Every structure is written in C-alpha cells, then in structure tokens.
Structure 1
Amino acid sequence: MRIAQTTYSTRPRGGVVHTLALAEALAARGHQVTVWTLGRGGDDAFFRPVDPSVEVRVVPFAPRDDESVGDRIERSIQAMAAAFDPAGYDVVHAQDCISANALFAPAAPGAGAPPLVRTVHHLDDFTTPRLVECHQQAIVRPDARLCVSRAVADEVHQGYGLEPTVIPNGVDAARFARAAGPDGAEARARWRAELGRYVLALGGIEPRKGSIDLLDAFALLRDDHPDLSLVLGGGETLFDYRPYRARFDERCAELGIEPVVLGTLADDDVPTLVAAADALGFVSTKEGFGLAAMEALAAGVPVVARDLPVTREVFGPAVAYADDVPGIAAALAAAVDGTLPVDAAAGRALAARHSWAGAAAAHERFYERVVREGGDGGHELDLTDRQPARRG
C-alpha cells in the first residue's frame, strides 16, 4: 500500500512523534510510506533521524515575525496544499488540523484523490476564529477518523455525531527501559549532577499542560522536600502562549521558585532525562493518550496524572491521580518518597503492551477497510497480535 502521512512540523510534539513512529512501523510491514511536513524556521529534516525506508518530503515554510496566529495557520495550510500531490497514494493520513485542511484546500492539486484519514489526537478549545474553523473542518470533512483513546472518540461523538475508530498509540518502551538500566547509568548520573533530584514535566509551558497548577503543587511539595527541583522539558509549538508564560513567570517570582526550563531537547537526551527523574508530573487538563507518561512508566518512573477520563482509560491503576493542586502535591510527595501505591512492574508491562508494530498492524487493517468502503464505519479494531501478510 502507498501511504502518505502528513504533519505540520518537523519538531518534537506528540503528534509528530506519533507520525514518525507509525510511518516507520508501516514501512517495516512492507508499505511505501511518505511523510510530508512543513519545514518551519528553515528546518529541512525532522528532529531525529528517520528510517531510510520512509521517504520524507519537507515543504519550506519561512518564518514571519509580524503575522498573527490565524495568518500563520492560513499560510501553513496554503503552503502544504500547494506542495502536496495526492497522485500515486492509496490513502492519505493527516495527523493534525493544519495538514488535514491543506489536503482539501482549494489549492490542493489533482482530482480523484485517495481517501483522507484524520487522527484526532484530542479536541481543543480554540478562540482564534481561523483555528476554530481549522479544528472543526478537520474533524467533519475527512473520509475517515481515528482517535488514540475511547475518551476522545466519545468527545468527538458527543460534539459532532461521528464514530471514530480507536487505535491506541504505540510507545518505544524498550528505549526507555534501556535508559533506566545499566546502559543509561552514565547519562542518568550526568542529569543528576546537573539537576539534583527533580520532578519532571514534558511538553512545555502552556495552558493545556496545566503548568501553573504543577508549579503551585511543587511549591507545596518543596516545603518538605527542599532538595527537589522542578524541571520542564520540550515545548515546541505553533501557537502563541506568551500571555500564559508571562503568568507562569510571575507566579514563579511570587513563590520564589526557579524551575529549570530546558526547552526543546535533543531526542537522544529524552529517555535518560526521564529515567533520572524522581517523578513525572502529568497534569494536563486535556490529553488524547499520554505518550510522555507511558514512556515514564517504561522507565520505571512514578507518574502523577490529572484525574481525567482519558488517563483513567489508558493508565488504569498504573499511575497516581489527582484533580487539584493539593492533591497533585500530595501525590508527588508520595512519589518522591517512594510510598506511592502503584506497581512499577505493572507500569512497565503496560507500556510494553503498546507497541508501534501493533499500532501499525491495526492501521493497516483500517486503511484497507477505508480504501475498500470509501470511508469509516466507526468500528473498533481488534488489536491482538494478528499479523497480516506484508505487502507493497
């Protein structure tokens, strides 16, 4: 099967990580896979090497300092639409609203295009009119929809009357397990020498990640754990969170906390950074799956998650839950003290069950049905280890 995967950035966000891992796993099954992306800020490659069995097409996208978020979204859509050619693909799979809109924008060339699949990783509450339109159109207009959790699929059904198919994320559990073992000992020691003991959060400083709640919880935690640091990694985003970041910085000053903000990380540094943490704070107000938390479980690191339907669905009893600042602080205290009532072995086993090979097999069956039927039927797929034959 000839498959096009599309994403809006070359930089490390959850959807981009998903795109690359899925593309590589599909290629390993014998499919011809091309990943299309926008090269923001002069990027001409992804944040990490991509298996050579996957073709990569980077569409140049020069930065402009004077444009609004809405204008940047519109320009992103038009740049991808002008470059993308659907000819020769059996199925096209968009991983975000920007690339999905590009694939049915008026500027997109070609007639008789292959079916368009969209993965809705989570629903957002945007206020910028062009983003609201982009978000909605990318849900209702594709031929078929996927979600990475039942909780998000239920939200799509409640909001739009549609029935997405659920295929959970994979995770490279072995990579994070190695980082927690003897092979990662030297790198973990370097992180500890630089950062001391720390609570980690990944994904940047933004409203959806609950960054200010985590900061307030850390202030309570610090009273009894003055040796701990709060470390924040990642944060590459297309959107403008400067007002929220300003509030975060003001709150840091009020609390007398100086978190370590690492920003975008080299891909090779992430597993040992996670493995060296005392705990992962995963307190997002909205998530689709929780890849960072699953990676932490693979490394044997305790996770404190906000109590959401999606986190209950995905993680069950493998993480600790909290729904307010005092609860987050109490759960983090138990995590760093080693008294959190969760089973690290069960967390590792959970992560190991979410393989990209299994996700790719499920996507393969979904694509075949969409090509055959011209759209989705909203059926849940069997995610057992049934392995269809390789094909080109």
Structure 2
Amino acid sequence: MPTPRPTVLIDGTPLIGPRTGIGRYTHGLLAELARRGDVDVAAAGLARGADPLVLPELPPGAPLRRTRVPGRIVLAARRLGLEPPLELLCGRADVFHATNFLAPPMWRTALVVTVHDLAFHTHPQTMNPAAVDLATRLPPTLRRAAAICTVTGAVRDQVVDVFGVDPADVFVTPNAVGPEWFTAEPADAALRARIGLPERYLVFVGTREPRKDLPTLLAAHAELRRRDPEAPALLVIGAGGWGADPTSTVPDGVVSPGYLPQDDVVRLVAGAQALVLPSLDEGFGMPATEALAAGVPVIVSDIPALREVTGDAALRFPVGDAEALTATIAATLRGQTPDRDSRVAQARTFTPSRTAAAAERAYHHAVDRRRDRRSR
C-alpha cells in the first residue's frame, strides 16, 4: 500500500559549486517535487568537512535539512573508518534519494539512487582518477537500493545488464529542459565581443574531459577551416576537467573561454550555427536537448543515449570519425538538417513534470520494497 505523501530527502551536495549536469538535475527535481506537493521534500546537507554545509539557491518549498552532528565529529569518525548513518546525520525520512551515484549508510530509510551513466565501466580510461573507485563503490550501493533511477532507457538497460538488477526496480527519470531554452535569444554583439567570438560559430558545451572526445571535434573543425577559411569558428564552453586539455593551445578559429554563467551559455548556444556533441559515452547529453529547445541544429555522436534523447531531430556521425564529422557539419551549414519545429518538439518531451512523476513512482516503490523486506 503506497505511503501517502512520503518524506523524501534529496542529497544536496551536487548543488555545491559550479552547477554541472548532475547539479542541475538535482535542483530541477527538488523544484518540481516541491511545486507538485505530492511528497514532503527537503535537501539533505550531508557534512563533508568541519564547517556547516551551505547550499545556495534552494527552490521554494524545498528546505535544507542540516547535519545534526558537528562536522568535526563526522570527520573523526571517518578517520576511524566509520561512516555515520543518514538518520544520525539528518534525521529520519521515508526515502533518501542519492542523485550522484553514492549514498551514506542508513538504518531504516529506503534508498533511491540515480545512475547517470556507466562511463566508468564502458570507458574507464576516460575517467577522472578520483572517480575510478565508482567501479567498486557503486555495486554495493545498488544492492542496498530499494529503487534505481536512470536518466535514459539506454542507461537503464546497461544497469540491468551489467549489475543484474531487476528491471522492475529501475525507473527512467530523464533530465528536464528548462523553460529558458525555449525562449532563448541569440547572444548580442557585446557578449560575443567580451569573449572574442565572431558572428558565425559552432558550439560545444561540456567539461573538457577525455570522454567528450574534443580531439575529434577539433580535427573536424580544422579540416572544415582548411577547406573553407570562412567556415564558422568553434566555441568551446566548459570548465577544465582531467587528463590532457586539447584546448590548452587554442587552435586557429577556436574560442575557449572556459566556464561561463548559465545565462551567457543559453544565449551563446541560441546564436550558434550548430551545437556539436562528439562524446564517446553519455548518460543523457543535456547540451543536445537544450540546443534543440533553442531551435539550434544539433550534431551528435552515434551512441545509444544520444540517439534516444535527440530522436530524429539531430544529425549523427560515427564515434571518433573526424572525417565523417566534417562532412556532417558541412551538410548542416548547407541547411541539410531536421527543421526547427522538429527540434523544438523533441526537446518539449523532457519536462520537469515527467521527471518528477517518474521519481515519485520510484519513491513509492522503494517504500513498499523496504516495508516488504522488514516483514519477512
């Protein structure tokens, strides 16, 4: 029997610092769950250091539940190899939603965990060394979970195949496209001048990490410019990641301003000739759906998650094939791309309501499973 209006704690740590894809997923989910009012939701301020955790810009109706144990005691316990349980840190709840793969131990709270991708399994050589231990830490977390969320059906299928979990315990909770993308205005001359960008340009958005395969995009763009010196510039937006940075020496015709405020990103994407996402692996590919919402042509590598989220609204090329990417960009610049209405319609399928409704189903499922386990 479903629990009426369960209490749900959502891990707030992805909201710290520059807002990445997981941070935006977490913030959007908090906001929509609070708006709907079908669950009693709060952000869990799990202690990571001696100082109290401060989370900025929490949505209305989604308060912060702070850690009840002083940070110095948490740190002392961790130095002894002891991880304090959730209930000791933040109090009781029906559900804890770990939105970034991992979760603390818990006594009675039902665990829901989101798996965004399995790049650590499919492409371990591209991973941040600090995250390589996901391969050993995620499996026990999934075994503890009463329900699992994934952001695409492609990742759901991988999770079922790799970890042998019951498909009935996995719920697809896709990233939602924010409303600002559907009304985005192109960057004006002042914004372009501030970062040294010409009027015509292609754009890439994402962390500059090996999994994004920027070398293939840079090689394709260099060949495009070799054939036509008047071809659009390439704008690379995103923070530096790990491994060799292919933009450390900026090639001719490439502009790489690093991390930019989200308002600037929206306008710069809206003004692009096309967005290119050449990734080796993605769990969702948020920049692609956001560009579609802005009506911008999209080119993606031909991988399962990107095929799923872009449907027939984007052009695809074989992974790592710079020559094919050059040809695909050239075709896009000639107008050989799905029409604007198709692009926007595809993006409109990813709504906050769809994500929250699927998450709520996962929460009720988790509470029911937790109850069943206790009754045995």
TM class, shorter-length: 0.7 to 0.9
In the alignment, what sits opposite 2:201?
Answer: 198
Secondary structure of 1:353 counterpart = coil
Name the structure 1 match of 2:89. 85
Question: Would you say the 8 A contact 1:188–1:275 is kept in 2?
Answer: no
5+ residue gaps, structure 2: 1-5, 68-77
Closer/same/farther in 2, CA of residues 79 and 14 from structure 1, 3 Å limit: farther
**Residue identity opposite 1:17 in structure 2:** R
Question: Cα deviations across residues 41-78 of structure 1 (Å, max 9, x unaligned)?
Answer: 999444xx33232223688xxxxxxxxxxxxxx99x98
Which among 284, 297, 301 is matched to residue 289 of structure 1?
Answer: 284
Does residue 29 of structure 2 align to residue 22 of structure 1? yes
Q: What CA distance in whole angstroms lies between the structure 1 residues aligned with 2:45 and 2:218?
A: 34
- Report the identity percentage: 32
Deviations 1:244-281 (A, max 9, x none): 21xx147x57xx43632222221222211110111111
What are the within-5 Å matches in structure 2 for residues 334-345 of structure 1? 334-335=331-332, 337-345=333-341
Question: Which residue of structure 2 aligns with residue 170 of structure 1?
Answer: 176
Structure 1 unaligned blocks of 5 or more: 60-73, 105-109, 377-392
- The answer on whether the counterparts of 2:110 and 2:367 sit within 8 Å (CA) in structure 1 is yes
Q: TM-score, normalised by structure 1?
A: 0.76
Q: Which letter does structure 2 place at the counterpart of 1:188?
A: D
Distance (Å, rounded) in 1 between the aligned partners of 2:90 and 2:162: 30
Compute the displacement of 1:320 (Å): 0.3
3-state SS of 1:295 partner: helix
Contact conserved, 1:209 with 1:284, CA < 8 A, in 2?
Answer: yes
For residues 179-328 of structure 1, the aligned pairs below 5 Å read 179=184, 184=185, 187-193=187-193, 194-196=196-198, 197-223=200-226, 224-235=228-239, 241=242, 243-245=243-245, 248-249=246-247, 252=249, 256-257=251-252, 259-323=254-318, 324-328=321-325
Amino acid at match of 1:356: P
Paired with 2:86 and 2:255, the residues of 1 have a C-alpha distance of 41
**Which residue of 2 is the match for residue 386 of structure 1?**
none
Identify the residue that residue 65 of structure 1 maps to in structure 2: none
Match of 2:75 in 1: none
In the alignment, which of 350, 353, 374 is matched to residue 354 of structure 1?
A: 350
Displacement of 1:214: 1.1
- The answer as to whether partners of 2:11 and 2:46 remain within 8 angstroms in 1 is no
| Aligned residues of 2:173 and 2:356 also touching (Cα < 8 A) | no
The RMSD of aligned alpha carbons is 3.0
Could you tell me how far 1:208 is from its partner in structure 2? 1.1
What's the TM-score once normalised by structure 2's chain length? 0.79
Instruction: State the distance in 1 between where 2:174 and 2:309 align.
Output: 9
Match of 2:44 among 36, 50, 54: 36
Determine the C-alpha separation between the residues in 2 that align with 1:39 and 1:340. 51
Structure 2 counterparts to residues 89-100 of structure 1, below 5 A: 89-97=93-101, 100=102
Matched, 1:2 2:7: yes
Per-residue deviation, residues 4-61 of structure 1 (Å, max 9, x unmatched): 1115432221111100001100000113322236799999444xx33232223688xx
Please identify, of 359-368 and 205-214, the stretch whose mean Cα deviation from structure 2 is larger.
359-368
Note closer, same or farther for the CA distance 1:90–1:38 as it changes in structure 2 (3 Å cut).
Answer: closer
Q: Classify 1:131/1:365 alpha carbon distance in 2 versus 1 (closer, same or farther; 3 Å).
A: closer
